[in-house]
């Protein structure tokens, strides 16, 4: 199985190299866990280290805010966009019902999104896609059956184009996905979490599943540093 480096410092080693190429991975966590950061870091690494261009679909945040926040982490998305190495699709403004000056926009509709992704992948040869979040997209669907079918369709199309895809997912009360089906529709699941110990917030990450890969089964501490997400050894849990 061909693997693609995630670029998340410390994670590739515990995955045995990276994510399986062309598969769909769910990155789940509560508010502020680091899901969007994870997604952008994955795309940024693909571009600067592997020459793989990427697409970031933002349903939960205006792309202008994504660009601003990433600049604080040292990632200048504007430059990558100018070189057509990265495409940001605004799914936020149509969802919020406000106008947008973004070049790429999508309604909250899986079929429409797939059509756009296929066109952009054809033009830019993108090999990495992040959909932030699948929860927003699934909220537009009416039944569990529809959610399953549409996520499978999205995942199958991305796979046929050999695009490795991250779907971010809202996690509430320890339940990995909002609709309870997203984790079954993905080939892998990474859970980001945080909890308070002695009044100190500790972020942690675990690989819940990764079909076809032997991976470790431990909870790892991580931090969001000026270089992005860094995953540490378990012994460093209480620092
Ligand atoms: N430059 C930075 N340096 C260190 N930590 C940062 C930096 N920028 C953001 N953070 C941390 O990352 C958190 C947000 O990360 P991110 O937006 O990736 O989370 P998220 O899981 O996508 O959140 P949401 O559920 O709201 O979409 C912030 O709450 C903050 O704690
Ligand atoms: Mg986010």
Share of the chain above pLDDT 90, in %: 81
Q: Is residue 203 included in any domain, yes or no?
A: no
Average pLDDT along the chain: 94
Q: Is residue 17 included in any domain, yes or no?
A: no
Tell me, what's the pLDDT at 89? 98
Q: Is residue 231 included in any domain, yes or no?
A: no
Domain that residue 61 falls in: 22-195
Which ligand 1 atom is the nearest neighbour of the CA of 31?
25
Q: Kindly indicate the confidence band of residue 236, based on its pLDDT and cuts at 50, 70 and 90.
A: low
Cα(161) to centroid of ligand 1, in Å?
Answer: 30
Q: Is the CB of 60 under 6 A from ligand 1?
A: yes
Cα(100) to centroid of ligand 1, in Å?
Answer: 24
Its pTM stands at 0.96
pLDDT at 42 over 50: yes
pLDDT at 17 over 50: yes
Mutate to test the pocket of ligand 1, among 8, 37, 132 (most ligand atoms within 8 A of CB): 37
Q: Is residue 227 included in any domain, yes or no?
A: no
pLDDT tens by residue, 62-112? 999 999 999 999 999 999 999 999 999 999 999 999 999 999 999 999 999
Q: Is residue 116 included in any domain, yes or no?
A: yes
CATH number at residue 52: 3.40.50.300
Q: Is residue 234 included in any domain, yes or no?
A: no
pLDDT tens by residue, 156-211? 999 999 999 999 999 998 888 888 888 888 999 999 999 888 888 899 999 999 99
Which ligand 1 atom is the nearest neighbour of the CA of 133?
27
Tell me, what's the pLDDT at 237? 56
Tell me, what's the pLDDT at 239? 46
Question: Structurally, how many domains does the chain consist of?
Answer: 1
**SS3 assignment for the chain:** CCEECCCCECHHHHHCCCEECCCEEEEEECCCCCHHHHHHHHHHHHHHHHCCCEEEEECCCCHHHHHHHHHHCCCCHHHHHHCCCEEEEECHHHHHCCCCCCCCECCCCHHHHHHHHHHHHHHHCCCEEEEECHHHHHCCCCCHHHHHHHHHHHHHHHHHCCCEEEEEEECECCECCCCCCHHHHCCEEEEEEEEEECCEEEEEEEEEEECCCCCCCCCEEEEEECCEEEECCHHHHCC
Which protein residue has the closest C-alpha to ligand 1 atom 31?
A: 32
Q: Is the CB of 193 under 6 A from ligand 1?
A: no
Q: Is residue 153 included in any domain, yes or no?
A: yes
């Amino acid at each position: 199985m061909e693997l693609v480096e995630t670029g998340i410092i410390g994670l590739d080693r515990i995955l045995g190299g990276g994510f399986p190429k062309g598969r769909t991975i769910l990155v789940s966590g509560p508010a502020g866990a680091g899901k969007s950061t994870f997604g952008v870091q994955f795309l940024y690494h693909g571009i600067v280290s592997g020459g793989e261009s990427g697409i970031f679909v933002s349903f939960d945040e205006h792309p202008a805010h994504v660009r601003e926040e990433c600049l604080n982490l040292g990632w200048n998305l504007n430059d990558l966009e100018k070189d057509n190495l990265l495409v940001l699709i605004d799914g936020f403004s149509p969802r919020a019902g406000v106008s947008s000056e973004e070049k790429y926009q999508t309604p909250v509709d899986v079929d429409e999104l797939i059509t756009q992704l296929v066109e952009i992948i054809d033009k830019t040869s993108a090999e990495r896609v992040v959909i932030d979040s699948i929860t927003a997209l699934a909220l537009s669907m009416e039944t569990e059956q529809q959610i399953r079918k549409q996520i499978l369709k999205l995942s199958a199309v991305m796979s046929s184009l050999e695009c490795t895809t991250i779907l971010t997912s809202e996690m509430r009360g320890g339940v990995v996905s909002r609709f309870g089906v997203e984790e079954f529709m993905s080939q892998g699941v990474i859970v980001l979490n945080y909890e308070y110990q002695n009044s100190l917030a500790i972020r942690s990450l675990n690989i819940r599943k990764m079909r076809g890969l032997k991976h470790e089964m431990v909870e790892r501490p991580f931090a969001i540093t000026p270089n992005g997400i860094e995953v540490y050894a378990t012994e460093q849990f209480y620092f």
